[in-house]
Amino acid sequence: MGKKAKGYEMDLSILCHQFSLVLKSGIHPVEGIPLVLEDTVNPRLRKALESIRDEVVFGSPMHSAFEASKAFPAYMTALVKVGEKTGMLEPVFEGLSRFYENMANTRRRIRSAVSYPLILAVFMLGVIALISLKVIPLFVEILTSLGGTVPAQASVFIALGNGLKDGFVIAATVLAILIVVGWLVKRLGIFRSFIDRFKVVNPFTGAIYRKIITSRFSGAMSLTLKSGMTLTEGFSLVSGVLDNSYVSRKIKEAVSAVSKGKSFWEALKDTGLFPGLFVRLVRTGEKTGSLDAMMDKVSHTWQEEADASLDRVINSIEPVCVTVLSLVLAGVLLSVILPLISIMSSIG
C-alpha cells in the first residue's frame, strides 16, 4: 500500500499513544475521545473518532464503536475489546502504539530494500526493449540490404521486438484484469481461508508468521489472565485477536478441547500453530501457577524473535535481487553484443 499505508499506520500509532496518555491520566473515554479528536489530523481518523464519540456518549461499548466506524484494523478492534473487558485499555493502547509504529518502520525498510532492485529491473527492461525495437532491426535492415543473412542470436531479439509491438495492448489488458481480480479477491474475501492457511504453512515466511501469532496470542492471553478472567474465558476471547480465519478456527477447536478437560498446553500443541519451546514454557507456567507472567514474558520474547527474523529477510532482499538482476542483465547484454558483432562483421 506504499506511502499511504505507512502514513496511516503511523497515524494509528500516534492515535493509540494519545489514547494511552488520556487513559493513564485517569480521564474517562467519554471525555478523552474529544481531546484526542482535537489533535487528530488524518481526515479518515477524524471522521471515525467523531462517530466513536457519538456512539460512546449514547452508551455503546468502546470496542463496538471502533468496529462500527470501519476505519480500524481487525487486530486493533479485537484488542480494544480485550482491553475493555479486562479493564486494561491503557496498556492495550500503549502496546498497539508500538505495534503500528514497528509495522510502519518494517514497511519502510522493505520498500527501501526493494526500491533499488526495482529501478534496476525497470532499467534492464528498458534496455532490452530499446535494443529489440530499435537497434537490432536497424542493423538487420542494413545487413539484408547488403545481401547478408541474419544471425540466429539476432532472430531472438527480432521476435522479441515483434512480440513487444503486437502484444503490448494484450499485456496491458491482462495486467489490468489481474489488478481488478486481485482487488476483488481482497475486497470480497474470496479464497480468504486458503490465503490465511498459506500464510501459516508456507515454507518461506510461515515460520515468521507463526512467531507473530505466538506474540499476539500470548500478549492477549496475558491481559485476560492478569484481569482475573478464567483460562477458558480468556482463551475464547483472544481468538479474534489473531485476524486469521484459519488460526481462529484452530484456536476455537483448542478452546473446545480445554472446556472438555484437556490441559491448556496440550490443546495449544494440537493446533500445530505454536513453536515447541512456547508450548513447553506454557506447560511450565501452567504447572507453577504463573501462566500470566509467563505469557507476558513470552509475548515480548517472540516479538523480538519475529523482528529479528524479519530483519534478516529484509537485509537479504537487496543483495539477492541485485545479484540476480545483474546476472540477468549481463546475460542479456552478452546475447545482444554477440549478434551485433556478427551483424557488423557480416556488413564488413
Question: Could you read off the pLDDT of 293-348 as tens digits, one per residue?
Answer: 888 888 888 888 888 888 888 888 778 877 877 787 776 666 666 666 766 676 65
In a domain, 109, yes or no: no
Provide CB contacts within 8 A for 15, sequence distance 6+: 36, 40, 45
Structural contact between residues 114 and 325, judged by C-beta atoms closer than 8 angstroms: no
Identify whether residues 246 and 153 lie together within a single domain: no
Identify whether residues 208 and 292 lie together within a single domain: yes
Provide CB contacts within 8 A for 213, sequence distance 6+: 200, 242, 244, 247, 273, 274
In a domain, 108, yes or no: no
pLDDT digits (tens, 9 = 90+) for 160-180: 666 665 666 677 788 788 888
Identify whether residues 232 and 266 lie together within a single domain: yes
The pLDDT score that the predictor gives to residue 204 is: 83
In a domain, 65, yes or no: yes
Identify whether residues 71 and 175 lie together within a single domain: no
Identify whether residues 236 and 323 lie together within a single domain: no
In a domain, 159, yes or no: yes
Provide CB contacts within 8 A for 245, sequence distance 6+: 192, 193, 196
In a domain, 41, yes or no: yes
The pLDDT score that the predictor gives to residue 267 is: 93
The pLDDT score that the predictor gives to residue 3 is: 42
pLDDT digits (tens, 9 = 90+) for 88-145: 889 889 988 988 888 888 778 778 777 877 787 787 777 777 777 777 777 777 767 7
Q: Which domain holds residue 295?
A: 199-311
The pLDDT score that the predictor gives to residue 2 is: 41
In a domain, 67, yes or no: yes
* CATH number, position 94: 1.20.81.30
Global pTM value: 0.70
Identify whether residues 307 and 323 lie together within a single domain: no
Total structural domains within the chain: 3
Per-residue pLDDT band at 184 (split at 50, 70, 90): confident
